[in-house]
Amino acid sequence: MVGKKVGSNQSDDYSFKWWEHTYNNAAKNIENKKTRLNEEDGTTETVKLPKKRRKDDVTEEKDVIVYARFRKSSILNGTHEKSIREETNLKQELNNHNEIKSIPTVSDEDLHRICEGRTAHKGARHGIHMNGKLKRLEDQETLLITSVAMKTTVEIASDKREKKKKKKKRKSEEDEEFYCILNSIMVSGAHRAFLFGISFNRFFRTKKLKIILPYLFGTATALTYTYHRQTFVTHASMLDFGVNTDANDIYDSALFIADPVTDKTLLQKNSQSYQSRMEIFIMKLQYHLCRQLETYEDGEKHFQVDRWLRQEGGGGISCVLQDGDVFEKAGVNISVVHGKLPVQAIEQMRSRGHQFIARDLPLDFFAAGISSVIHPRNPYVPTVHFNYRYFELIDIDGSVHWWYGGGTDLTPYYLDESDCKHFHLTLKKTCDKHDKTYYNKFKKWCDDYFNISYRDNERRGVGGIFFDDLNEQGQEKCFSFLKACGNSVIPSYLPLVEKNYLKSYSLNEREWQLIRRGRYAEFNLVLDRGTKFGLQTPGSRIESILMSLPAVAMWKYQYPIKDGSEEKKLVQILKNPKEWV
């Protein structure tokens, strides 16, 4: 340590770069000289030039004092310490500021003019705006928006034109079909009118009635056909089906959803019997209704078709759609059964006014019917139920007792009076075509039948029509009326589905729907006569009988219903049935 000065670095003995030190000392001694020619005497002289020093070097030499290897950073001033570095930094900032102020500024107009509108400065300082660039961007944006808008307008117009073309084509095809039929009717009518005129002239000449009668009958036939066809056109246009959804009793296996219960050969052979005609009709009605309901599920859900046979005789076809987007559960069942009817069931029929010779004996019977219950998912779409049946009972003397029965009723969860009026008006028009007294009589019967007496006479729904033991006006008239009632289901109910199935609903409204479904299940299990008959019939199929029950229902103890609410409004109607038409 001897000979070392204070502040010396001992590591210099090992890290000192002598060649770098020698180079730097040599560089300091270099003189910058310039040879200059003297024009007067033609001699040359050498001039020593001053060294160029950087500003930082000057500042550093002037303001910073180095003691050996220590750097002076501050000066003691009494009790305070003054920093040399802060003064140095302040001077540098002032110099930089002066340099910035010395930079000449260019106005926005001059810059725009110099750059010919192609650009502008990036800073937008001192209130100067990038008018050139912004103007160009604005023009580009306007052009883009205009082109997109024009393209969208063209596409929309194109789509509208395509839709109009399709609609016009469809309408032209329908009109063409209609006018072809109308033309044939008019030609036929004109031809008959011409012949009728000639015959009428002959009648006045000869006074013979037989000349004019054939043409009278022909004209009446044409007018009847026109009237009934117009009725169908009105019926179909209500839902815009485009096809005839009315079922009839003419054999056509293409309109069966499955093989009939009765052998096809036997069914065609006995196609004029009421047993066969009834089976054919309900098979077709089942097909039409299932296909129409499936259209609301967008091909995602289809009816599960279950054809079953009964060991005692006959069988049925159960069609059930479950967990659909529109229909939570929908069932359309037919049954064609025969065999021996128990004494208990016979006595129940006797209590309704039927007279049988047999006493305490089972009798041969035949029953064919269609039954359907449709439970939608949306609380604003009502539930519908219908059942139409034909029954034969053979007494011990061989006499046949027959009758028809059935009905259609609506169960809304939220009251829409226009829906109820449409439903009842459709049923009334159907009834009035056969007997003007049917609607009022069968509506009251429906209100009385679907009455949950132990719930303070609360009805299951807003009613419809219901009848049983119908055999008063002859079998053909009764069968025609039953077919008309069955065919009224689609036009009376599907418009309500179409109107309401897309409406939004809350959890409270869904809960109210499930509470009302509980009432529905109560009636079916406790009071419904059809359920009781099915359970009493030997070999009955429980799955098909209980198909009418909803997939989900709810019972809550003393469920509160607020006064003035929509729920209260419905309950008041259920306890006090209303005349809708």
What residues act catalytically?
385
Cα-Cα-Cα-Cα dihedral of 413, 418, 420, 425, to 10°? -170
Q: Which two tokens stand for residue 567?
A: 């729920």
- Supply φ then ψ for residue 68, to 5 degrees: 50, -115
Cα-Cα-Cα-Cα dihedral of 68, 74, 75, 80, to 10°? -150
Query: Which residues are bridge partners to 539 per DSSP?
Result: none
CA distance linking residue 486 with residue 282, whole number of Å: 9
- Asked if 442 and 469 touch (Cβ cutoff 8 Å), the reply is no
CA distance linking residue 109 with residue 111, whole number of Å: 5
CA distance to 153, 493, 500, per residue, from 158 (Å): 8, 37, 31
Q: Which residues contact 428 (CB under 8 A, 6 or more apart)?
A: 439, 581
Nearest Cα neighbor of 222 from 180, 192, 178 is: 192
Instruction: For tokens 């479950």, name the residue.
Output: 322
- Asked if 48 and 33 touch (Cβ cutoff 8 Å), the reply is yes
CA distance linking residue 190 with residue 193, whole number of Å: 5
Instruction: For tokens 């102020």, name the residue.
Output: 101
